[in-house]
Structure 1
Amino acid sequence: MATTTLPHAFRDAAYRDALALLQNPQHAALLTRLQRGIEKEGLRCNNDGVISQKSHPKGLGSTLTHPSITTDYSEALLEFITPVCRSGHDAIACLDIAHRFAFSQMDAELIWPSSMPCILEGEMSIPIATYGSSNLGQLKHVYRHGLWHRYGRTMQCIAGIHYNFSLPDELWPILKALDNRPDESMQSFISRRYFGLIRNFRRYSWLLLYLFGASPAVSSSFLAGREHNLDTLHQHTLYKPYATSLRMSDLGYQNNAQSSLRVCYNSVDDYVATLGDAIHVQVDEYEKLGVRNNDGVYQQLNTHLLQIENEFYSDIRPKRIARQGEKPLEALDKFGVEYIEVRNTDLNPFMPVGIDVPQTAFMDLFLCYCLLQSSDAIADNEYQDIQTNQQRTVMRGREPGLTLICQGEERSLQQWGLALLDDMQTLAQQMDTANHHSFHIDTLGQQRLKLTDPSHTPSAQVLAALQEQGLEFSEFTLQQARQHRKTLSQPLAAEVNRHWQTLARQSLDEQARIEASDTLSFEDFLADYLKR
Structure 2
Amino acid sequence: MTRHEEMPFLDFRWGVERETHRMLPDGQLSPEPHPAALRPGPFTRDFAETMLEIVTDPLPSIGRVMGELEGLTREARAAVHPERLWPFSMPPRLPEDAGIPVAALGRRAVLYRQGLALRHGKARQMISGVHLNTSFGPAMEGWLAGHTPLGAGEDSFQLRLARNLYGDLAWFSILFGASPVTAEGGPLAVSHRNGPRGYARAGFLPFLDLTSTKAYLDGIRRGLGTVSPEFTALGLVRDGRVLQLNGNVFQTEKEFYAPIRLRQAARAGESGLQALSRRGAGYLELRFLDVDPFTPTGVSEDGLRLMHLFILDGLARPTEPRPTAVLGEDLDRAARAARMDPRALDPALAGGLGTRLDELERWALALDGLEPGGRHLRALDGYRARVARPSLLPSARLAALFEASGMDWTAFGLHIANQFPKGVSHALDYAGV
TM-score (norm 2): 0.91
What residue is the counterpart of 1:524 in the other structure? none
Residue 208 (structure 1) aligned to one of 140, 147, 172? 172
Partners of 1:381 and 1:247 lie apart in 2 by 23
2:277 maps to 1:333: yes
2:362 maps to 1:414: no
Secondary structure (helix, strand or coil) at the match of 2:359 reads: helix
Partners of 1:177 and 1:339 lie apart in 2 by 21
Residue 245 (structure 1) aligned to one of 185, 191, 204? 191
Pairs aligned (count)? 423
Give the deviation of 1:328 after TM superposition. Answer: 0.7
What residue is the counterpart of 1:20 in the other structure? none
| Maintained 8 Å contact 1:432/1:438 | yes
What residue is the counterpart of 2:100 in the other structure? 126
Residue 16 (structure 2) aligned to one of 31, 38, 43? 38
Give the deviation of 1:374 after TM superposition. Answer: 1.3
Stretches of structure 2 lacking an aligned partner (at least 5 in a row): 426-433
Residue 163 (structure 1) aligned to one of 114, 132, 155? 132
What residue is the counterpart of 2:428 in the other structure? none
| Maintained 8 Å contact 1:45/1:111 | yes
Residue 366 (structure 2) aligned to one of 415, 430, 440? 430
| Maintained 8 Å contact 1:350/1:480 | no
What residue is the counterpart of 1:47 in the other structure? 25
Q: What code does the residue aligned with 2:238 have? A: N
| Maintained 8 Å contact 1:41/1:159 | yes
Partners of 1:31 and 1:97 lie apart in 2 by 26
Q: 1:151 to 1:34 in 2, by over 3 A?
A: same
Partners of 1:99 and 1:381 lie apart in 2 by 40
Q: Residue by residue, what CA displacement relative to the aligned partner does 1:283-323 show, whole Å, maximum 9, x if unpaired? A: 2343344444332x332222211011110111111110011
Alignment of 1:51-450 (within 5 A): 51-61=29-39, 66-131=40-105, 137-178=106-147, 192-220=156-184, 237-240=185-188, 243-253=189-199, 255=201, 258=203, 261-295=206-240, 297-379=241-323, 382-396=326-340, 398=342, 400=344, 402=346, 412-450=348-386
| Maintained 8 Å contact 1:51/1:125 | no
Residue 399 (structure 2) aligned to one of 455, 460, 463? 463
Partners of 2:4 and 2:228 lie apart in 1 by 54
Secondary structure (helix, strand or coil) at the match of 2:377 reads: helix
Partners of 1:327 and 1:387 lie apart in 2 by 27
Q: What code does the residue aligned with 2:174 have? A: Y
Q: Residue by residue, what CA displacement relative to the aligned partner does 1:72-122 show, whole Å, maximum 9, x if unpaired? A: 000000000001112222112212211222222224101101000012122
Secondary structure (helix, strand or coil) at the match of 2:416 reads: helix
Aligned-pair RMSD on alpha carbons? 2.4
Partners of 2:301 and 2:81 lie apart in 1 by 29
TM-score (norm 1): 0.75
Secondary structure (helix, strand or coil) at the match of 1:313 reads: coil
Secondary structure (helix, strand or coil) at the match of 1:214 reads: coil
| Maintained 8 Å contact 1:348/1:355 | yes
Fraction of identical pairs, as percent = 27
| Maintained 8 Å contact 1:28/1:431 | no
Q: What code does the residue aligned with 1:96 have? A: E
Secondary structure (helix, strand or coil) at the match of 1:142 reads: helix
Partners of 2:322 and 2:149 lie apart in 1 by 23
Secondary structure (helix, strand or coil) at the match of 1:435 reads: coil
| Maintained 8 Å contact 1:28/1:430 | no
